[in-house]
Amino acid sequence: MKRLLTVLCLITLVMTMATSTLLAAEPPIKIGILESRSGTFALHAGPKNLAAQLAVEEINDAGGVLGRKLELIAPDPQSDNRRFQELARRLILKDEVDVLFAGFASAAREAVRPVINEYNMLYFYTNQYEGGVADKLTFCTGPVPEQQIEPVIEYCIEKFGPKMYILAADYNFGQLSAKWTHVFAKKYGGEVIGEEFIPLEVTQFASSIERVQQAKPDFLVMYITGDPHASFYPQAVAAGLNIPFATSINVAQGYEHKRFDAPALAGMHIGVHYVEELPTPANEAFVKRFRDMFPDCPYIGEQTQNTYVGIYLYAKAVELAGTTEIPKVIEALESGLYFDAPEGKVYLDPKTHHLVRDIRIVVVDENHELHFPKTYDQIWPDWLSKEKGVDLTKKSESIQYEP
């Protein structure tokens, strides 16, 4: 009997070793990620690489996907749109990645999308943005204007009054976000009484601050972005600008409430789905896992969480499809996937390739503490489907619609 048990144990051990050898022999699933660790957007985009590493480690520790490990290939595009294009081609043609995650700024996304469509590559864009992208190959894990701009504009008109002044970065994100603000201002009885578009390299805002003070809006709408533009906030405090802010990007992306001394961000109102301080058990557990792995990361912004979510959605889709073949993975992504994210439950809308999610109004007080006065439950990213008739499950498109 003892001899028989010994033989059975040896057989089991051999079978286990053979299975492990087979799994180890399986090629990894390659994930290309182009997120800037240097240049203008490094502060905002750099942590997205860390989120991808965390998600990949968790998934691999749980057995991988289809018995295969995930592997990240992550060169630095250096916040340069030409490098985004060059590196996207390299990842697709030389490294033969199975999926590509790329871009903080909308300009980078629009630099990458022609390459994606040229080579029929699956693409995830993980930032909040100005909305409108309808692309069979593109999946967006960040919120869009009806989820972020509309709630905060509605909230601020109700709380402060109808008159608003827009300061926006002078590229497609700022320009289109400003257009959306006009749409939502009209919808809720507001009025845009001033508007400026500011080049990304600008660091001095004295003249803009003076014009805002002369216009006397009820609140200021902010779509300035990147490291140079962040200098606006201490300059506004020094100039005595005491007007509430509304934004879809600050705090959640650039953690200005941590980077600048109080009360520089006092009165900031953000329409957002995620901030590191989100007081839920799921997020607290996520933050602990993230900081155990990356204790020196200065802030876990919304774009960082969106990247984590995107990696998991891709993994779920590959598992469901039973393959990394892009048409079949897209079919799985369009099947109606849910994911219990750190922000809460998200649902991938098959028609638009964007996420249904909860949106919070977040307010920064004089001590730079965050408050959560209102939550809008499960807002759909449905402007594309309702107003433009987009249904990517039935008709393939590759366009960015504007309001």
CB 143 within 8 Å of CB 120: no
> Computed from CA positions of residues 384, 385, 390, 393, in that sequence, does the dihedral angle turn out positive or negative?
positive
**Residue 17: pLDDT over 50:** no
Strand segments, DSSP code E, in 79-232 are 99-102, 123-125, 133-135, 138-140, 163-169, 191-198, 219-223
pLDDT class of 82 with cuts at 50, 70, 90: very high
CB 207 within 8 Å of CB 217: no
Q: What would the mean pLDDT of 146-175 be, rounded to a whole number?
A: 96
The pLDDT, as a whole number, for residue 9 is: 47
* Amino acid letter for position 350: P
Question: What are the structural domains, with CATH classification, of the chain?
Answer: 24-143+279-356+379-400 (3.40.50.2300), 146-272 (3.40.50.2300)
**Residue 3: pLDDT over 60:** no
pLDDT class of 18 with cuts at 50, 70, 90: very low
pLDDT in tens, 162-211: 999 999 999 989 999 999 999 999 999 999 999 999 999 999 999 999 99
Encode burial over 121-151: b for 16+ CB neighbours within 10 A, e otherwise.
bbbbbbbbbbbbbbbbbbbbbbbbbbbbbbb
pLDDT in tens, 244-279: 999 998 999 989 999 999 999 999 999 999 999 999
The pLDDT, as a whole number, for residue 7 is: 44
Six-digit token pair at 243? Answer: 């007007």
The pLDDT, as a whole number, for residue 24 is: 52
Count of Cβ atoms closer than 10 Å to residue 277 Cβ: 18
Rounded CA separation 48/302 (Å): 9
Encode burial over 385-398: b for 16+ CB neighbours within 10 A, e otherwise.
beeeebebeeeebe
Q: Where are the alpha helices (DSSP H) in 216-344?
A: 232-238, 256-259, 281-293, 302-321, 326-333
Six-digit token pair at 300? Answer: 């876990």
**Residue 94: pLDDT over 70:** yes
Percent helix / strand / coil, the chain, rounded to 5: 45, 20, 35
> Computed from CA positions of residues 160, 161, 167, 170, in that sequence, does the dihedral angle turn out positive or negative?
positive
Mean per-residue pLDDT of the chain: 93
What percent of the chain shows pLDDT beyond 70?
94
Q: Indicate the pTM of the whole model.
A: 0.90
pLDDT class of 228 with cuts at 50, 70, 90: confident
Integer angstrom CA distances of residue 320 from 72, 313, 315, 334, 338: 21, 10, 9, 11, 12
The pLDDT, as a whole number, for residue 323 is: 98
CB 129 within 8 Å of CB 173: yes
pLDDT class of 230 with cuts at 50, 70, 90: confident
Beta bridge partners of 339: 346
Six-digit token pair at 382? Answer: 């449905």
pLDDT in tens, 107-146: 999 999 999 999 999 999 999 999 999 999 999 999 999 9
